[in-house]
Structure 1
């Protein structure tokens, strides 16, 4: 598996000078084959998906290749890039949009996307975008799939206003866990630790510093200290921190990264464009 960051910022995009080393685009992570061919699995569609779309339009696609988009939840910073995703305008592209979890409370997945494409908000409707869309509400926690290789995708709901889901992807005994927009509370959520167990790569949000966290109780986010504790308890091999606060500039994050690496060597604050092979 090859995992690549296209959006690393939380809450809102940031365009100012001094914020671009770690990235100003909101959440988007892509998973693909090492060869960068075949199917693509995308987690969330923040503004970073625009750059991903441009990259995908430059690579060859076979007729059977799919683009699959899985969503942690549908807050604006995880959805706002969708209208600017170039493959969505290509009639030759097949795009599956999924939401997973036994306790999903979404009556109509398609309507979430259609609403933001109404003329009040955007000049092109969902029906006129061009790609072939399939919308799948999977009210179960595990999906087994085959795309040349057999793998599984698990979903787990965690604490966040309105709810959010982490994903655990297993292919050829390699484990990738994506866990953003999660609030642990006064102690770590043991189910998040179990979900991340023995992951080769854990992407865990870390919007706040340990000092900031008490001021934002109830906002649905974690500190980097909590993310490291999850990684340590779960036996994670490599940890990438993401969903950077829009007030944290490059200099600030760089300094926090050094603190993190003193506690957990294989820990990095995600930068847009980072690629991790597992």
Structure 2
């Protein structure tokens, strides 16, 4: 039995192949090791009733997650999953690699994630090329949910948001400076808190201010992350993530302006990733 996970900072999607049945699908909160420790990850998994009956039967676990970019961070996740699935082989890799598997398979190209956070990498059909990007919501994450959340909050608190939108924002969130500071500086998962304001973008998508904000955010992502690669026009660029998916019109038009060849845009890669991993491991087994 093979368990596959795609984990962002906000949510983790899981698939388990079951004999003579469709895959078992479930969701947990995001398990980014920059924001949750080993004990917290194990606790989350122990609270998933669907998976516990199979815990000792699962032979392989493939986890692709945000924040799993260094050996020590990957070890945090691996140790926690090994506690839950004691007889399984556990592999932990970064979410970008999982997104590349799900959209490119064995082809080459640039893979971008734009969800709670944002990142980019070049996939050569097997491995990811090291990137200068993916430096997190404080310093980077251009065009992501957390980036747009910061723009909305600061625009509102500085009284720079158009009056009609500001009224809607106030009614929906009932924010003040103290509430914002407490959630960002004193509570867990500040990046997910910031990204939660993306709902406001969807609800007011036709407003010129929101449309312009989206285009500016995607333009910053493109200029900072894609166009700094000298060969970006030679390859397709695939996108994965809720922000890229829900605001694909603005994203596509910004990319078109800069001559970027968009391939696939997926909201979530988990089904395609699950199929890729299961097929790959089945081939290995029968070699």
What is the TM-score when the length of structure 2 is the normalising length? 0.36
Which has the greater radius of gyration?
Answer: 2
User: Which one has the bigger strand percentage?
Assistant: 1
User: Which one has the bigger helix percentage?
Assistant: 2
What is the TM-score when the length of structure 1 is the normalising length? 0.36
